[in-house]
Amino acid sequence: MAALYRRYRPQGFDDVVGQEPVVRTLRNAISAGQVRQAYLFAGPRGTGKTSLARILAKALNCAQGPTPDPDGTCHACAAITAGTSLDVVEMDAASQRGIDDIREIRERVVLQPVEGRYKVYILDEAHQLTDAAFNALLKLIEEPPPHLVFVFCTTDLAKMLPTVRSRCQTFVFSRPRLTELVRLLKRIAEGEDIEAPEAALALMARSARGSFRDAVSTLDQLSTATEGKVTVQAVMQLLGAVEEEALFRLCDFVVDRDTAGALTFIEELAEQGQDLGRFVTELLEHLRHLLLVHHMGEVPDSLPVTEETRERLRAQANQLPEPTVLRLLDLLAVAVDDMRQGGDPRLPLELALVKVTRPAADLERESVAFRLEQLEQRLAGGPALGPIREPDQPTAEEKPPVPSPPPPPDRAPLELEQLQDAWQRAILPAVEQRSIPTASMLREAHPSQLAGDTLTLEFPAAASFHRQLAEEQKNATLLVEALYEVTGRKLALEFAVGENGGDTAAEPDDRPAGEDEIFELMKETFDAHEVEDRQ
């Protein structure tokens, strides 16, 4: 018995799903007698390129044609469907890619069709033909016999030679929408007496990622494994697919800042045998959907989701702030990198959830800047970028209403202790991203005084040369930019030399620096090295 995807392969233009622009153009061309000598069908695998090429061959060679509606019952149509037609030659360019194969085509094309009007050559995976083979085809494509039609099918349009593309009429096949895939699977399930709820069909369609063939093959496999009674659990066990409910539930934990709930949920998924690598991939896609809703104000029609999921996406996008979504996307990139190197994505996933649900536990510069921005917005009376209350803190409904507080100051106050705490942890790394020598020089200093918006940096007495370098306009500007990135404040700078260097216990050395010391200091500061004198 043939596989389901072969039995339900479209046999006419009306059976093709998801490629309406291509079908409309080909039907009009056949009706108007404007069939071209070469066509190029490009698109992802499993989107119907080869099937449509066969339908085109039927339309040209049908006993009733050329016609946009081949009857499918005449001898020519039946032979093309069965793959036994002498006028339709299918070649796999992955294995028949050399110039000798193309020379064989050139020798045969001069022969008239056996029973039809056209001799149709369908070259699958055409981008794998060698350059020599393509060049041997150029003249044949440009000036073919009147009875010859080429159809090139490729999954990589960029690898097709421009000289070949310019001689072909190109059609780009798009991935079908989720609703179209679900509709097709439902029709096949009803035709084969397979019991499958729509949620299970949606999971299969989502895992196929726009491939008709993959979706139908998955249904075929599941119907065999479950004896015709497919369930959501069976789909998840076989494919390792992620249920949409799990994605929404995890994001709800992020909305509530429920770190314990999120980690417990990941533990439950792991115990159930869920592929956490697949879960991270699906979570990234879910966050992308939320980001699109944030920026577009609605769920785009192009998203492969059902109507019920669209409503839930709108609701969750209103609860999960955009900065939190962006932060989680950045953190999950670490898990993706670990997966590419063959590592376990569980720990990076758990760390990402901890950092995004408890920003105070994250010591990175991005988190510090995020919390400062939240604080400034709260002090300015505007809405915060996301919920910042802890899970045990009472909600607004549990507290009696209180009078509005007086208008807060424009900016959050900045304390010297905050700068001293962030100096080694956040400020110097920010300088280092701009200039390693400048950061190396500033490691000798520490914030000693903050008067208004003027910060005083104190250097040890033994590092007076570093202080002079720090006062230079270029280095001072880099430090001001790094301070603004971390604190959100434009600070003026003053530089001083302390008696004992503040945190440094070394005694000051009044003697002038020797030539060797100055030389070593310049090598350390400017990352320099000695150039040998070559004669």
98-151 pLDDT, tens per residue?
777 777 777 777 778 888 788 898 988 888 888 888 887 887 888 888 888 989
Name, in order, each residue with C-beta under 8 angstroms of 106's C-beta and a sequence gap of 6 or more. 136, 140
Predicted confidence band of residue 347 (pLDDT cuts 50, 70, 90): confident
- CATH architecture designation of domain 244-373: Up-down Bundle (1.20)
Q: What is the pTM of this model?
A: 0.56
- Numbered ranges of CATH 3.30.300.180 in the chain: 416-504+513-526
pLDDT of residue 370 exceeding 70: no
* Percent of the chain clearing pLDDT 90 (strictly above): 6
Question: Over the stretch 318-339, which tens digit does the pLDDT of each residue have?
Answer: 888 888 888 888 888 877 887 7
- Please give the Cα distance from 457 to 437 (Å, whole number): 17
Angle between helices 178-191 and 198-208 (to 10 degrees): 120
What the block records as the tokens of 420 is 């001293």
Predicted confidence band of residue 171 (pLDDT cuts 50, 70, 90): very high
- CA 209 remoteness from chain centre: 13
pLDDT for residue 53 = 92
**414 vs 241: which has the higher pLDDT:** 414
pLDDT of residue 505 exceeding 80: no
Which residue do the tokens 């966050």 mark? 287
- Please give the Cα distance from 372 to 157 (Å, whole number): 48
pLDDT for residue 199 = 81
pLDDT for residue 390 = 41
pLDDT of residue 50 exceeding 50: yes
Strand partners, 41: 153, 171
Q: Can you point out the beta strands (E) in 75-168?
A: 88-92, 119-124, 148-154
Contact (CB, 8 A) for 149 and 39: yes
Classify domain 178-239 by CATH number: 1.10.8.60
Predicted confidence band of residue 24 (pLDDT cuts 50, 70, 90): very high
Region 74-98: mean pLDDT is 83
The pairing of strands 169-172 and 148-154 is: unpaired
3.40.462.20, 3.50.50.60, 3.30.300.180, 1.10.1200.10: which CATH number matches 416-504+513-526?
Answer: 3.30.300.180
- Four-CA torsion 510, 513, 514, 516, nearest 10 degrees: 140
Instruction: Please name the amino acid found at residue 194.
Output: I
Angle between helices 322-340 and 276-296 (to 10 degrees): 150
pLDDT for residue 501 = 43
Helix, strand, or coil (residue 506): coil
pLDDT of residue 406 exceeding 60: no
Region 512-530: mean pLDDT is 57
Name, in order, each residue with C-beta under 8 angstroms of 54's C-beta and a sequence gap of 6 or more. 80, 81, 88, 122
* Percent of the chain clearing pLDDT 70 (strictly above): 81
Exposure of 252 in the CB half-sphere (CA atoms within 13 A) = 11
Least confident of 8-12, 196-200, 516-520: 516-520
**512 vs 135: which has the higher pLDDT:** 135
pLDDT of residue 41 exceeding 80: yes
Sign of the C-alpha dihedral computed for residues 387, 390, 391 and 396 taken in this order: negative
- Please give the Cα distance from 336 to 276 (Å, whole number): 11
Instruction: Please give the mean pLDDT across all residues of the chain.
Output: 79
Spatial strand order of the sheet with 446-451 comes to 446-451, 454-459, 492-497
Region 408-436: mean pLDDT is 75
**What fold, for 4-172?**
Rossmann fold (3.40.50)
Q: What is the DSSP string of 388-417?
A: ---TTS--GGGS---PPPPPPPSS----HH
What the block records as the tokens of 285 is 């896609």
pLDDT for residue 523 = 59
- Numbered ranges of CATH 3.40.50.300 in the chain: 4-172
pLDDT of residue 241 exceeding 70: no
**154 vs 432: which has the higher pLDDT:** 154
Predicted confidence band of residue 153 (pLDDT cuts 50, 70, 90): very high
Name, in order, each residue with C-beta under 8 angstroms of 389's C-beta and a sequence gap of 6 or more. 257, 395
- Numbered ranges of CATH 1.20.272.10 in the chain: 244-373
Question: Over the stretch 286-296, which tens digit does the pLDDT of each residue have?
Answer: 888 888 888 88
- Numbered ranges of CATH 1.10.8.60 in the chain: 178-239
pLDDT of residue 424 exceeding 50: yes
**Phi, psi for residue 445 in degrees, rounded to 5:** -100, 170
pLDDT for residue 209 = 78
